């Protein structure tokens, strides 16, 4: 699905190993540690969110709201699962228009239960915009918030979680986040002290963060208490790259793992588990 929507990788005009890898043989591409890191993160994040979405729909959710939808493909690849739901894709108008063009060209159009919701995040309230497009907060809803929270001001994160918490009991939200210590750690990175072998990868990451700064992190190891403020009860949680994530999503039936990772090597006491996934339910 991603290949169909993106088209020719050479046309993306993005200079990053993970993009170059799209045109390479798998065995060759996966040898690049920077590519492997992207693969691991994306596989775990995608699968975890898919699992949470499936549980929510099977438990009775009839609305799915994808915040900052970008090129999210769930409405197009999980058609059977979502056939009885209304899917609201919320994003900036420019991004959404680009996606709509690609969906039309590559897939022949969106399923009839997809509602595109353009929003000016700086000047419009999420609740008002969704209401204009038919969203009903009294219906059980599953919110997906992927790759967004770290870029938002703290008051915007709080306002969004308050909105989610005001929904029908049993509604859910799944999102990824970093701890505040990750934000602080990024600010202290000294490239001169980074080993030369990984310095280019760190430099690329810092360039990305300079373009789109990471400014929000949840209180360290206090996500349960933080979410309770908004009427949300934290459920399944998963550090990306930790032992449980390797066992759950990167281990094949024969015991081998993607990129040769071993669960036993992950999740030790020295691991900086700062990038997390979590599912929470409206109480």
* Domains of the chain: total: 1
Q: For residue 142, tell me if it sits in a domain.
A: yes
Q: Return the residue matching tokens 């046309």.
A: 11
Count of other CB atoms within 10 angstroms of residue 109: 12
Q: For residue 203, tell me if it sits in a domain.
A: yes
Q: For residue 234, tell me if it sits in a domain.
A: yes
pLDDT recorded at residue 268 = 39
8 A C-beta contact, residue 218 and residue 179:
yes
d(CA 259, CA 87): 34
pLDDT recorded at residue 261 = 65
For residue 181, what are the domain limits? 33-258+270-282
Task: Indicate which CATH number applies to the domain containing 224.
Answer: 3.40.50.150
Q: For residue 13, tell me if it sits in a domain.
A: no
pLDDT recorded at residue 271 = 39
Spell 90-104 as b/e; 16+ CB within 10 A means b. Answer: bbbeeebeebbeebe
The model carries a pTM of: 0.93
8 A C-beta contact, residue 32 and residue 17:
yes
Low-confidence ranges of the chain (pLDDT < 70): 261-273
pLDDT recorded at residue 22 = 87
pLDDT recorded at residue 8 = 83
Angle between helix axes 199-211 and 33-58 (nearest 10 degrees) is 50
């Amino acid at each position: 699905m991603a290949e169909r929507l993106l088209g020719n990788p050479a046309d993306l005009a993005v200079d990053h190993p993970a993009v170059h890898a799209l045109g390479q043989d798998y065995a060759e591409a996966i040898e690049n540690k920077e590519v492997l890191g992207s693969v691991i993160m994306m596989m775990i994040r995608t699968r975890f969110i898919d699992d949470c979405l499936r549980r929510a729909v099977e438990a009775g959710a009839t609305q799915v709201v994808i915040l900052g939808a970008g090129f999210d493909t769930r409405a197009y690849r999980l058609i059977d699962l979502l056939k009885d739901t209304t899917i609201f894709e919320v994003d900036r108008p420019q991004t959404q228009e680009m996606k709509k063009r690609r969906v039309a060209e590559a897939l022949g159009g969106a399923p009839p239960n997809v509602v595109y919701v353009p929003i000016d995040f700086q000047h419009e309230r999420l609740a008002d915009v969704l209401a204009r497009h038919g969203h009903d907060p009294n219906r059980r809803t599953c919110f997906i918030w992927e790759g967004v929270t770290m870029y938002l001001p703290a008051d915007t994160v709080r306002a969004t979680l308050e909105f989610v918490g005001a929904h029908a009991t049993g509604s859910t939200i799944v999102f990824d986040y970093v701890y505040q210590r990750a934000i602080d750690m990024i600010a202290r990175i000294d490239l001169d002290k980074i080993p030369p072998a990984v310095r280019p990868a760190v430099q690329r990451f810092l360039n990305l963060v300079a373009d789109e700064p990471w400014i929000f992190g949840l209180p360290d190891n206090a996500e349960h208490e933080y979410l309770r403020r908004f009427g949300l009860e934290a459920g399944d949680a998963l550090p990306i790259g930790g032992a449980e994530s390797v066992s759950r999503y990167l281990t094949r039936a024969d015991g081998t793992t993607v990129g040769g990772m071993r669960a036993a090597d992950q999740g030790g006491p020295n691991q900086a588990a700062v990038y997390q996934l979590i599912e929470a339910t409206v109480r």
